[in-house]
Structures are given as structure tokens and as C-alpha cells.
Structure 1
Amino acid sequence: MGWFGDDSDEAEAYKQVMQRPQELSRWSNQLLGDAAAYEAGKAYEDHVAANGHPDEHHQAKEILAGVIGDFVDREVEVQGLDFIDRDWAKRHAQRRAEIELYDQHGDRW
């Protein structure tokens, strides 16, 4: 089963961010965080398909954190979103991704 269904808040946020809305007022910490969580879920699925599941729970969380950090920093810099609280967006994304990680693979660790 895939992470974050196509109709989830995270998937919708990801679609909005990837469409690059020109009106900066549409961007928010939560929108960017949800999109980052979705991107992290996709990257984690790709990692598992290529390498198998990490041996340790903390390794899975580190994979998610790396993808989230890169995604948030890239979008803030590319879009010039100086008003976005990067740390808040990253924490929000990490929480959402870890909840999904547990829902998908909680029985592994």
C-alpha cells in the first residue's frame, strides 16, 4: 500500500506546490510541510523498492528527515519564500511522515 493516498491533504499540497502558484499568499508553512511529507513518502517507497527496508527505525526516520530538509530548503530558495518558517514546515512534515511510517510499517520495529 502506498503512502498518503492521492486524495490526502499531503497529496493535494504536493500538487499545489509542484504547480508553482504565483500568488505567494497561497503558500503557507503547512502547505509546504504537507508537500514535503508527501515527497518524503515517495522517496522512502523508492528507497525500499531499491534497497529493502532499513534495519532500524531510526534509519527510516533519517531517510525521511533528509528528504524533507532538502525539499523544504529547495522550495523556499527557488520560490523566494522568505516568509515561510522553514523549521516549522520541516517539523510538521517530519511528524506527518513519521505517522505514516508507523501506519505503513509500524509492525517492523
Structure 2
Amino acid sequence: MAEHGEHHKKHSQHHQEVYNPNPVSAEHKSNWTHELVGGAAAFEAMKLYEDKMKRDGKPDNHALAKEILAGIAGAAADGLFETKGLDFIDKQKAKHHAKEQAEILYEERYGKGV
């Protein structure tokens, strides 16, 4: 497995900010962007994916793995919108960014594959 790349560090920080269990002020939350929320969702997706792969084994097919990860990232973004009240952020842009960044995180970690 490859080392974590630059996106991992950035999205790890986004994840900590967005998934922080402590209440976030409305003023602080108003500075969030679809990139920040998408990055946090991508990081969450990668965490969930890797946890599942540790339990069940990793798919041999990189394309399938990326599709699975994109689905998890989209669901994670949806979950953030439902639980964090992010009506001021473009949900579709955040979901697209989450899926895109999840693929980048996967490629940084496992390579581009076939």
C-alpha cells in the first residue's frame, strides 16, 4: 500500500472540522464550502471503505472499488446535509466533489490500477 498523499492530510483536517461532535457555531459553519464538506465526506468514505476491506477483503477490480467508494462518498455527503443543516451549500456540488476526492484518495493510497 502506498503512503497517504497530500489530499489525505487536507481531507483529514476537513473531516475533523465537519465531523467534530462538539457543537459548531452558525458563524463558523457559514464559512464551510462545498469543497470542505465534500472533502470531509470523501475522507469519511475512505475510512468506511478501508474498515470494510479489513473485514471482508479488497476487490481486485480497481474500477469496482472506485464505484463502491463513490457511492459511499455520496451517501456520506447526503448524511452531512441531513444532520448538519447545510442548506446554504450546493448539495450536488458537494456530492460531486466528495466522489471526485474519494477517487483521488483511493488512487493516492492504492494506485490507479487498470
Task: Report deviation, 1:103.
Answer: 2.1
Amino acid at match of 2:55: A
Distance 1:38 1:66 in 2: 13
Q: Distance in 2 between matches of 1:103 and 1:12?
A: 17
Q: Unaligned 5+ residue runs, structure 1?
A: none
How many residue pairs were aligned?
A: 108
Kept in 2, the 8 Å contact 1:3–1:42? The answer is no
- Equivalent residue, structure 2, for 1:29: 34
Normalising by structure 2, what TM-score?
0.80
Q: CA deviation at 1:107?
A: 6.1
Amino acid at match of 2:49: Y
SS at match of 1:10: helix
Where 2:60 maps in the other structure, the secondary structure is coil
Q: CA RMSD in A?
A: 2.2
- Looking at structure 2, the residues matched to 101 and 8 of structure 1 have their Cα atoms a distance apart, in angstroms, of 13
Does 1 or 2 have the higher relative contact order (CA < 8 Å, sep 6+)? 2
**Percent identity among equivalent residues?**
40
Q: Segments of 4+ in structure 1 off by > 6 A? A: none
Partner of 1:86: 91
TM-score normalised by structure 1 residue count: 0.83
C-alpha deviation, 1:73, in angstroms: 1.0
